[in-house]
Amino acid sequence: MPNNKWTDESIEDLLKDFPAIKDNRPKEEVYNRLAKKQKVQKRPKKWLPLLVAALAFITVGILVASIISQLGIDTTQNQSDSSTESTATTEDQENEELESLPDAEESGTGESGQFSIAQVEEPVRTAVYDETIGNQTLMTIGLTENAVVVPVSFLIPSDQVEAAFGDKTPSSLDLYKEYADEIDETQLGFDEYHPYVGTLEKTAQGIRHMLPQDHQYDMASASIGVYFNTLSETFSDVSEIEVANEDGSAAGFSEIGPVEPIIPAQEDIAYYSFTSSNGDVYLVPGYDMPLTSASEAIGGLTESPSDFYGPTVPKNVDYQVSETQDLVQVEFEDALDLNSLDTLETIRMIESFALTADTFGKKVEVIGLQPESWNGFDFSQPLPVPVAPNLLEWSLE
């Protein structure tokens, strides 16, 4: 209060009016309380981790600089030593490469190692031929990825077949019942689809698939196509495949009504390439895309017919196609040098020619390929027809 002027007397009178303060505690108690200092809690040092990190960073920097400097010295010192040892090292590497050459020939390609050693020893093939089978048993099954059906083949060792079937020669149905559930489709890069739900049984005309009421093979047109095409590829050795209800009556699908017996044979179609999600390349029939002639089918293998199928003929390779009643003639322009092309691409081209012509009941003769004898193919003769496409390694024991 700046307007009030306090005098010493007035302040003294005011203080005298205050009540007297008394403390009745003993002196010992007051002393003990003062002697006991209250424990003060320390505030955390939030800057400490930052400091430690900074010091660590500086330390690492010093160490790295020291190591780099030392490496520079060591490099200078070791140059003379490395030059004297290079000859011996090169010789060792050459020996290792020579030793590994048979393994490289067996693998045939670095393309995911997808093909079986049984068929890539020499000559390299992606399909199954009569001479490939030997005393093994061929099993073909239709696998699928993204609604595309891919026929793949396996060669089962004779000892496994004998252990499972004895002296009996198993049919495709026998092989399917024995092994389909054990094939790891996802490991091969396909969708999990097999085994079929329901019951498979042999009939006088082929096989019958009896479906439960809750099957999902007719959910959409795509699922129906996958179902029919996998059946055709899996049981290609039978005359017909009947699709029935559990009571034996003909099954009815929501989009097509009663299901007619399926004839497995693939006719008048072309074999295109299909690349799976893991990068493996297969030859697949152009299901439900019939063509008018073998020359049209083989001539169209330079183009992709859909988003799923690709050409089997390498880019910038030109040829002319003609046909007779029993033979398709493919004539390449400018004497195509096969050694200038990728080996597997060339093999797939050749095998797609033979497989495509076979669906028209014809063989293929190729002209203008150099050399005329290449990778076991004799181009002076019609191409051999594969028994089945896409041979994979049998891994079950």
Q: What pLDDT, in 10s, does the model give residues 122-168?
A: 689 999 999 999 999 999 999 999 999 999 999 999 999 999 999 99
62 pLDDT band, cuts 50/70/90, is very low
pLDDT value at 43 more than 50: no
pLDDT at 383 over 60: yes
Mean pLDDT of the chain: 82
Please give the average per-residue pLDDT across 182-195, as a whole number: 96
**pLDDT-based confidence at residue 22 (cuts at 50, 70, 90):** low
Per-residue b/e over 289-314, b at no fewer than 16 CB within 10 Å? eebeebbebbbbbbeeeeeebbbbbe
According to the model, what pLDDT value does residue 397 have? 81
CA 236/CA 251 separation, integer angstroms: 21
Question: What are the structure tokens assigned to 309, written together?
Answer: 């199928």
Higher local confidence (pLDDT), 19 or 189 = 189
Q: Does residue 116 surpass a pLDDT of 60?
A: no
Using CB atoms within 10 A of its CB, is residue 97 exposed (0-12), middle (13-18) or buried (19+)?
exposed
First CA to last CA distance, the chain = 105
What's the pLDDT score for residue 104?
37
* Interatomic CA distance for residues 286 and 356, integer angstroms: 10
Six-digit token string for 312 = 């089997």
Q: What is the pLDDT of residue 25?
A: 65
Q: What is the mean pLDDT of residues 270-275?
A: 98
Predicted pLDDT of residue 291: 97
Residue 188 has pLDDT above 90, yes or no: yes
Query: What's the average model confidence in pLDDT over 367-386?
Result: 96
Q: What pTM, to 2 d.p., does this model score?
A: 0.71
What mean pLDDT is predicted for residues 53-80? Answer: 46
Q: What whole-number distance in Å separates Cα of residue 10 and Cα of residue 237? A: 127
pLDDT for 6: 62
Helix/strand/coil for 350: helix
List pLDDT tens digits, range 201-245: 999 999 999 999 999 999 999 999 999 999 999 999 999 999 999
Average pLDDT of span 316-337: 95
Tell me, what's the pLDDT at 115? Answer: 56
pLDDT at 333: 87
Length of the chain: 397
pLDDT of 111 higher than 60: no
Least confident segment among 98-107, 154-163, 232-241, 300-309 = 98-107
Q: Where are the domains of the chain?
A: 196-265, 291-385
pLDDT band at 250 (very low <50, low <70, confident <90, very high): very high
Overall CATH class of domain 291-385: alpha beta
Tell me what pLDDT residue 123 has: 85
- The answer on pLDDT for 380 being more than 90 is yes
| Encoded amino acid at 80, one letter | S
